[in-house]
């Protein structure tokens, strides 16, 4: 669909749904938890909403040196992601990893010697400064020299395709977003960037949906729909097995905005009842 037909062209973006197994206890029987970040109220898209970490693809993401990433067959990923070139596939995967590091402080990577990235690394001045510059609104920071300096290799093999959502036509900003799954790396802890995000929480999909239904939190339509699908899984192993085994819905989903009793609502293309935006 061309920009002339939609008014605003959808920008390529990637989101990573970070998951972990919940600890069984009195308040929970286990299950999975996902990481949600609260967007700053001043954001011009989904301000104040809880979202998964992610953002738009930068040109540099498509050009990352092969020495700085591993674990992805770009031809296969191109088919999963619905893109025509290997560079486009690489761009989406790298953007997801980069944005998750920037916004949530989780880095899906290892050292060249094979050693894991742990909490002490993330707290090191070089890592803190790289995150600060990525999140800065005053500069466009290319992190590729930093990756090389630190001898870091992005672990694209940690990612699994989950879903594909496109912002409805008629919106002032539109994103063509691939949702990717990744397990929280051992010995890393999330921390929001305090620029675009104001807080974070680990929560089960069902608890997040219940909080939204009560009016305690705000979540936009694609986040809610993805949480409903995630809530079907009892643990991260079964969830990731389904995603790696292509047993998830990877269709491009582009809802439409409809008016119900004078209020704008979102309509799923499968014909589900309209819901609030």
List, for residues 103-154, the tens digit of each pLDDT value: 999 999 999 999 999 999 999 999 999 999 999 888 899 999 999 999 999 9
The reply to whether 258 falls in a domain is no
Q: What pLDDT score was predicted for residue 271? A: 87
The reply to whether 214 falls in a domain is yes
When pLDDT is averaged across residues 169-182 and rounded to a whole number, the result is 91
When pLDDT is averaged across residues 231-246 and rounded to a whole number, the result is 96
Q: What value does the mean pLDDT of the chain take?
A: 91
Question: Distance between CA 83 and CA 89 in Å, rounded?
Answer: 6
Q: What pLDDT score was predicted for residue 172? A: 79
The answer, yes or no, to whether residue 41 has pLDDT greater than 70, is: no
Burial (0-12, 13-18, 19+ Cβ within 10 Å), 195: middle
Q: What pLDDT score was predicted for residue 47? A: 53
3-state secondary structure of 156: helix
> Domain of 227: which CATH number?
3.90.79.10
Burial (0-12, 13-18, 19+ Cβ within 10 Å), 144: middle
Q: What pLDDT score was predicted for residue 137? A: 84
In 3D, which of 165, 160, 163, 164 has the Cα closest to residue 236? 160
In 3D, which of 110, 109, 107 has the Cα closest to residue 134? 107
When pLDDT is averaged across residues 68-95 and rounded to a whole number, the result is 97
Note the pTM of the prediction, 2 decimals.
0.92
Percent of the chain scored above 70 by pLDDT? Answer: 92
Q: Which domain holds residue 112?
A: 3-250
Contacts of 34 (CB under 8 A, 6+ apart): 17, 18, 19, 52, 202, 203, 204, 205, 208, 227, 230
Looking only at the bridges linking them, the beta strands covering 32-39 and 197-203 are antiparallel
When pLDDT is averaged across residues 179-207 and rounded to a whole number, the result is 90
The reply to whether 268 falls in a domain is no
The reply to whether 55 falls in a domain is yes
Q: What pLDDT score was predicted for residue 272? A: 87
19 phi and psi angles, rounded to 5 deg: -130, 155
The answer, yes or no, to whether residue 202 has pLDDT greater than 60, is: yes
Between 195 and 231, the more confident residue is 231
In 3D, which of 258, 39, 52, 84 has the Cα closest to residue 163? 52
The answer, yes or no, to whether residue 1 has pLDDT greater than 60, is: no
CA-based radius of gyration for the chain: 18
In 3D, which of 99, 108, 102 has the Cα closest to residue 188? 108
Q: What pLDDT score was predicted for residue 194? A: 67
Q: Which two tokens stand for residue 235?
A: 């643990």
The answer, yes or no, to whether residue 4 has pLDDT greater than 50, is: no
When pLDDT is averaged across residues 8-36 and rounded to a whole number, the result is 86
Q: Report the number of distinct structural domains present in the chain.
A: 1
The reply to whether 276 falls in a domain is no
The answer, yes or no, to whether residue 40 has pLDDT greater than 90, is: no
The reply to whether 59 falls in a domain is yes
The reply to whether 275 falls in a domain is no
The reply to whether 262 falls in a domain is no
Q: What pLDDT score was predicted for residue 27? A: 53
């Amino acid at each position: 669909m061309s920009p002339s037909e939609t008014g605003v062209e959808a920008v390529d973006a990637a989101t990573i749904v970070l998951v972990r197994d919940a600890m069984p206890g009195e308040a929970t029987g286990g299950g999975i938890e996902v990481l949600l970040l609260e967007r700053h109220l001043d954001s011009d898209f989904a301000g104040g909403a809880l979202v998964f970490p992610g953002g738009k693809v930068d040109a540099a993401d498509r050009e990352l040196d092969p020495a700085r990433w591993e674990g992805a067959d770009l031809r296969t990923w191109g088919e999963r992601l619905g893109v025509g070139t290997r560079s486009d596939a690489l761009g989406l995967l790298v953007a997801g990893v980069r944005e998750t590091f920037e916004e949530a402080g989780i880095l899906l990577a290892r050292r060249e010697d094979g050693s894991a990235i742990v909490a002490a690394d993330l707290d090191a001045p070089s890592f803190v400064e790289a995150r600060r510059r990525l999140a800065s609104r005053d500069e466009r920071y290319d992190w590729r020299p930093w990756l090389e300096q630190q001898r870091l290799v992005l672990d694209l093999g940690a990612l699994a395709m989950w879903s594909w959502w496109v912002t409805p036509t008629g919106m002032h900003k539109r994103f063509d977003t691939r949702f990717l799954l990744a397990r929280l790396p051992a010995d890393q802890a999330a921390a929001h960037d305090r620029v675009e995000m104001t807080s974070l929480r680990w929560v089960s999909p069902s608890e997040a949906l219940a909080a939204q239904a009560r009016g305690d939190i705000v979540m936009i339509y694609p986040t809610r729909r993805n949480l409903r699908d995630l809530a079907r899984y009892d643990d991260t192993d079964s969830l990731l097995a389904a995603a790696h085994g292509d047993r998830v819905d990877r269709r491009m989903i582009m809802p439409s905005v409809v008016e119900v009793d004078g209020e704008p609502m979102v309509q799923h293309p499968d014909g589900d009842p309209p819901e609030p935006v």
